[in-house]
């Protein structure tokens, strides 16, 4: 699950509101018919750029397991970079059966998870190896 609760702001509102609805939002460049990362500021040219829903499919570009210390002992978090079927990259939490090895190039599918228990805590996309 996400490491700590986060909230939405103006820059991330479309992305996180979409995640709360179960949609993965990205930006489409209508001039070139290509897709851009959700953090791209579509407001710079609203006639050219539109926010759209992506398929939710992707492949793992790179991955790591972060080792830490939690209240209940050692923790491990699987995360990585996913290339969406539409092209953009996302740095996201990953889920995969163990052992966590040779995950580069694996296909993944989006799912959504709340970052915290409160109503204001945002829901985030996570990606599950298929």
Partner 1 sequence: MSAAKAAVVGLGITELGKVYGRSAPQFGVEAVRLAAADAGLRLDDIDGLIVSGGLSDMISPANAMTLSLATDLGLEDLNLLTVMQGYGSSAAQTVQYAAMAIAAGTAETIAIVWADAPLQERRGGGAAYASQATSTPAGWNAITSTSGALTANNMYALAARRHMDRFGTTSEQLGHIAVAQRDWAVMNPLAQLRDPITLEDHQSSRWISEPFHLLDCCLVSNGGIALIVTSAERAAELAQPAVGVYGWAQAHPGRTGMRNDDFGIVSGAARSGPRALEMAGLGLDEIDIVELYDCYSFTTLITLEDYGFCGKGEGGAFVSEPGMLGPGGKLKLNTGGGQLSSYYMWGMTPLSEAIIQARGQAGERQVEKHDRVLVSGNGGVLDYHGTLVIGTV
Binding site residues, partner 1, CB under 8 A: 2-9, 11-12, 15-16, 37, 39-40, 61-67, 77-81, 83, 87-89, 91-94, 100, 104-105, 115, 122, 124, 126
- For residue 2, the minimal CB distance to partner 1 (Å) is 4
Q: How many residues does the structure list for the chain?
A: 130
Give 11 or 30: the residue with its C-beta nearer to partner 1: 11
Give 30 or 62: the residue with its C-beta nearer to partner 1: 62
**Both tokens of residue 124?**
């985030």
- For residue 30, the minimal CB distance to partner 1 (Å) is 18
Q: How far is 115 from 120, CA to CA, in rounded Å?
A: 10
- For residue 19, the minimal CB distance to partner 1 (Å) is 10
Q: Give the C-alpha distances (Å, rounded to integers) separating 27 from 39, 48, 81, 98.
A: 8, 10, 18, 33
Q: Are 21 and 13 in contact (CB under 8 A)?
A: no
């Amino acid at each position: 699950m996400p490491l700590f609760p986060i909230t939405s702001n103006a820059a991330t509102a479309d992305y996180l509101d979409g995640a709360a609805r179960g949609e993965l939002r990205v930006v489409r460049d209508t001039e070139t018919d290509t897709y851009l990362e959700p953090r791209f500021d579509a407001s710079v040219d609203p006639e050219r750029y539109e926010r759209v829903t992506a398929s939710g499919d992707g492949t793992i570009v790179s991955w790591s397991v972060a080792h830490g210390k939690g209240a209940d002992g050692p923790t491990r978090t699987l995360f990585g970079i996913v290339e969406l079927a539409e092209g953009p990259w996302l740095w996201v939490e990953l889920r995969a059966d163990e052992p966590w090895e040779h995950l580069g190039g694996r296909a993944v599918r989006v799912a959504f998870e709340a970052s915290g228990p409160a109503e204001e805590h945002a829901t985030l996309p996570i990606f599950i190896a298929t």
